[in-house]
Structure 1
Amino acid sequence: MGLGFGIPAVAMAIAVVSFFIGTRLYRHQKPGGSPLARIAQVLVASIRKYDVKVPDDKSLLYEVSDKESAIEGSRKLEHTELLKFFDKAAVETQEEKIQSHVNPWSLSTVTQVEELKSIVRLLPIWATGIIFSTVYSQMSTMFVLQGNTLDPHMGPNFEIPAASLSIFDTISVIVWVPIYDCIIVPLVRKVTGNERGFTQLTRMGIGLFVSMFAMLAAGVLELVRLRLIARHNLYDYKGFLPMSIFWQIPQYFIIGAAEVFTFIGQLEFFYDQAPDAMRSLCSALSLTTVALGNYLSSLLVTIVTSFSTRNGKLGWIPDNLNRGHLDYFYWLLAILSFANFLAYLLIAKAYTYKKAVKVIED
């Protein structure tokens, strides 16, 4: 999946974009400016001080003396040992100590540095949501193509369009939310002692695991569909197969259950773990996985089509699905989901939660 090198690549992309922003905003923003400006300031300052040694005593790193941080709407954050290179931005040189004005593009507060570290720490968790969103996007793509071949009749005079079956995903969410809040959480709370039942990371992990079964259910249905076609020699049949479209309901229902765990857990996690003044940015970041999941789905279809149509073959997903192997595509997504889940377990185990500095009242 490339997660091993994908995260540094994403971090580097943010660094490049932020550095570009920094060159445009240089000397025109204060630490309380926009989140992207503050990220750019830390990156610029740390790069400018690449040869500066970080003191062993981290209390010597620059921070304002006030109870609150220099960033409006943000509490001070404790220094962490991760991503030590960025600590260079908070090293106060002798020249800066005697200056009356702090240049935010050459000196950042510890809290500002920790803001950037918090964002970078979230990126691996964020990346694992892309595969989940790829699975989620199948409801509006492959599930519809599969459903278009099945019998949509409900009674003698009514047909249900394949695209409208996504209503069962919505119904699943409506059913699972009260089940989760009223039954699962109280039961798990007795075991874990956690007020929320599961931790947010555990909740997301469960959703990632459950999402695999949506692809397995879709793949099994496709196998049954292809066997029906083979049994009755319906390869070139243009009408609806003698198989109800409602056999698709389980795969929609499973995705809805996975949503309740992953999407809701993801929003809560990004909001809680984001620095105080960057919660809107991080909430928006979590939602970008949906768009990227759609892009990845399109990319996978392109790759699969290119690979499976070699030597004049029809491929996995031809125009006539009756002669294709859509089940292979579902197995591929199931394998990717499982690999993504394993990667998530490692990432979640290594994750450290943010810590705010406790303010002692006078």
Structure 2
Amino acid sequence: MAEDDMLAKAAPPEEKDEYTKDGTVDFRGNPAKRNATGTWKACPFILGNECCERLAYYGMSSNLVIYFKTQLNQTSAVAAKNNSNWGGTCYLTPLLGAFLADAYLGRYKTIASFSIIYVIGMTLLTMSASVPGMKPTCVSKDDCHANGGQTAATFIALYLIALGTGGIKPCVSSYGADQFDDDDEVEKKHKASFFNWFYFSINVGALIASSVLVWIQDNVGWGWGFGVPAVAMAIAVLSFFSGTRLYRNQKPGGSPVTRIIQVVVASVRKYKVKVPADKSLLYETADAESSIQGSRKLDHTNEFRLVFKPKKLYL
């Protein structure tokens, strides 16, 4: 008996304990090893990316109306309209980024590629405010005039930034969640702590941007005011790429629009089929993972039953 116990202790851990159970893979596409990837080892790089990106975004956007008025010589109405149009675009582009990440690219490639676009936009914006010939011609600090080319350079830079933030904003928080395996109770508890640190990082970046960077723009110059956020964004990209070997990645699962349509069609075709009370009688794959690559299996639930099998309602 003692010999059997010694052999059991010497035996290597089972494969299911060595690898994550949620289908994540490492940067080479192999099943992610639990001890070598993810958890808090990978999170500092993601949190650093988010903090610097928010610092860059708020540092550039907080004073944008004033920049339009004093540097591009726009009226208050035009400046406010342009700022609103740009801000609205920043909240629309995440729909594109989220779709590409879930359907085709995966979160890592989406964040990486759109972060590079973001840095290009920030660099161009800095150049448009500091490089002779690209920056507006100023008689005094608040009396500047920009020609068509200079104005175009500014707005091309801004909309590159809007596109860049669209690939980062919807992916970073969920990518951080991917670093924790929900099938492991310890990691599942740590995921909640990650989100606390995640929002702390956002607020730190926003605080520095809304105070220090705004002061720099008002008192030092727009070149420095946009240059510091550009450097912060470059640091964010370097921070993100530095953790590549440590990340756990979910495989993209194809277009969600296709699956939604499949569900609606199946619901209509099987409208009269009686759902068994025992969920074990429902069709399901035997594997631990979903049959949809990159997706997780969902437990059966009676929620939304009313949507597909209407009942009489009494008001």
Instruction: After TM superposition, give the deviation of residue 129 of structure 1 in Å.
Output: 1.3
Q: Which of the residues 116, 136, 148 maps onto 2:66?
A: 148
The alpha-carbon distance between structure 1 residues 295 and 281, as it changes in their structure 2 partners (threshold 3 A), is same
Alignment of 1:339-354 (within 5 A): 339-348=238-247
- 2-side partners of 1:147 and 1:336: how far apart? 26
Matched to 2:62, the amino acid is: V
* SS of residue paired to 1:78: helix
Could you say which residue in structure 2 is the equivalent of 1:192? none
- 2-side partners of 1:231 and 1:158: how far apart? 16
Q: Is the 8 A contact 2:136 2:145 kept in 1?
A: no
Q: Is the 8 A contact 1:210 1:257 kept in 2?
A: yes
Matched to 2:232, the amino acid is: L
Instruction: Note the aligned Cα RMSD (angstroms).
Output: 4.6
1:168 aligns with 2:78: no
The share of aligned pairs that are identical, in percent, is 7
Instruction: After TM superposition, give the deviation of residue 236 of structure 1 in Å.
Output: 0.7
Alignment of 1:191-340 (within 5 A): 198=106, 203-204=107-108, 206-226=110-130, 227=132, 232-237=137-142, 243=151, 246-247=155-156, 248-267=158-177, 269-270=178-179, 272=181, 275-276=184-185, 279=188, 281-286=190-195, 288-295=197-204, 298=207, 317-320=216-219, 322=221, 324-340=223-239
Unmatched 5+ residue regions in structure 2? 20-33, 249-287, 289-315
Q: Is the 8 A contact 1:208 1:262 kept in 2?
A: no
- 2-side partners of 1:154 and 1:326: how far apart? 22
The alpha-carbon distance between structure 1 residues 212 and 273, as it changes in their structure 2 partners (threshold 3 A), is farther
TM-score, length basis structure 2: 0.51
Could you say which residue in structure 2 is the equivalent of 1:124? 41
The alpha-carbon distance between structure 1 residues 216 and 171, as it changes in their structure 2 partners (threshold 3 A), is same
Instruction: After TM superposition, give the deviation of residue 335 of structure 1 in Å.
Output: 3.5
Instruction: After TM superposition, give the deviation of residue 325 of structure 1 in Å.
Output: 1.7
Q: Is the 8 A contact 1:207 1:258 kept in 2?
A: yes
The alpha-carbon distance between structure 1 residues 286 and 155, as it changes in their structure 2 partners (threshold 3 A), is closer
Matched to 2:17, the amino acid is: E
Q: Is the 8 A contact 2:49 2:237 kept in 1?
A: no
- 2-side partners of 1:274 and 1:141: how far apart? 39
The alpha-carbon distance between structure 1 residues 318 and 180, as it changes in their structure 2 partners (threshold 3 A), is closer
The alpha-carbon distance between structure 1 residues 56 and 231, as it changes in their structure 2 partners (threshold 3 A), is farther
- 2-side partners of 1:321 and 1:164: how far apart? 28
Matched to 2:231, the amino acid is: L
- 2-side partners of 1:249 and 1:175: how far apart? 14
The alpha-carbon distance between structure 1 residues 234 and 119, as it changes in their structure 2 partners (threshold 3 A), is farther
Instruction: After TM superposition, give the deviation of residue 327 of structure 1 in Å.
Output: 4.1
Instruction: After TM superposition, give the deviation of residue 161 of structure 1 in Å.
Output: 6.6
Q: Per-residue CA shift, 1:108-143, capped at 9, x if unaligned?
A: xxxxxxxxx879951121111122212431323323
The alpha-carbon distance between structure 1 residues 346 and 160, as it changes in their structure 2 partners (threshold 3 A), is same
Instruction: After TM superposition, give the deviation of residue 282 of structure 1 in Å.
Output: 0.5
Instruction: After TM superposition, give the deviation of residue 300 of structure 1 in Å.
Output: 8.8
The alpha-carbon distance between structure 1 residues 287 and 212, as it changes in their structure 2 partners (threshold 3 A), is farther
The alpha-carbon distance between structure 1 residues 132 and 240, as it changes in their structure 2 partners (threshold 3 A), is farther
* SS of residue paired to 1:325: helix
* SS of residue paired to 1:233: strand
Q: Is the 8 A contact 1:317 1:326 kept in 2?
A: yes
* SS of residue paired to 1:134: helix
The alpha-carbon distance between structure 1 residues 158 and 149, as it changes in their structure 2 partners (threshold 3 A), is closer
* SS of residue paired to 2:117: helix
Instruction: After TM superposition, give the deviation of residue 318 of structure 1 in Å.
Output: 4.3
Instruction: After TM superposition, give the deviation of residue 222 of structure 1 in Å.
Output: 2.1
- 1-side partners of 2:162 and 2:172: how far apart? 15
Count of equivalent residues: 217
Instruction: After TM superposition, give the deviation of residue 58 of structure 1 in Å.
Output: 6.4
Matched to 1:326, the amino acid is: G
- 1-side partners of 2:48 and 2:36: how far apart? 20
Matched to 1:291, the amino acid is: F
Matched to 2:92, the amino acid is: I
